[in-house]
Amino acid sequence: MPSQYPIDPSRTDLAQEFMANPMGPHSAALQRIVTRMRDSEAAGRYVLVTTVPYKEWSLAQLSGQRGVDLTLLEDQVFTSLEDAERAVFKMRWELITGEPLAID
């Protein structure tokens, strides 16, 4: 059963805080959202795969099964870990709240 902590889609101020500083430390209210987002099933969990060491990463999803490779999302390549965190935050925000994150 996934975490039950509700994410209030009107709290875009917390999303703004994340976008400004995706690596944290976060405020307590934001950290609870982040914790909710990171507490997902292993199967399908987003990870980053190194494509250029220390410089470029591709988003991927774990298989959740030993011996079964992850799935690369080759259209989602990042040159900063911060940008990758921002992108995944946006996707998870929409997935959990049902509403797209309408901030820049």
* Residue ranges in contact with another protein by CB under 8 A: 23-25, 28, 31, 34-35, 38-40, 42, 45-51, 53-54, 57, 60, 62, 64, 66-70, 81, 84-85, 88
Site of tokens 């950290």? 31
Site of tokens 């307590």? 28
Closest distance to another protein from the beta carbon of 39 (Å)? 6
Q: Which is nearer to another protein, 10 or 87 (CB)?
A: 87
Query: Which residues are within 8 A (CB) of 104 and not within 5 positions of it... i.e. 6 or more apart?
Result: none
Q: Which is nearer to another protein, 1 or 10 (CB)?
A: 1
Q: Do residues 79 and 49 make contact, with C-beta atoms less than 8 angstroms apart?
A: no
Please provide residue 72's backbone torsions phi and psi, each rounded to the nearest 5 degrees: -75, 135
Closest distance to another protein from the beta carbon of 27 (Å)? 10
Closest distance to another protein from the beta carbon of 47 (Å)? 5
Q: Which is nearer to another protein, 11 or 26 (CB)?
A: 26
Q: Which is nearer to another protein, 14 or 85 (CB)?
A: 85
Q: Is the peptide bond before 25 cis (omega within 30 degrees of 0)?
A: yes
Query: Which residues are within 8 A (CB) of 29 and not within 5 positions of it... i.e. 6 or more apart?
Result: 11, 14
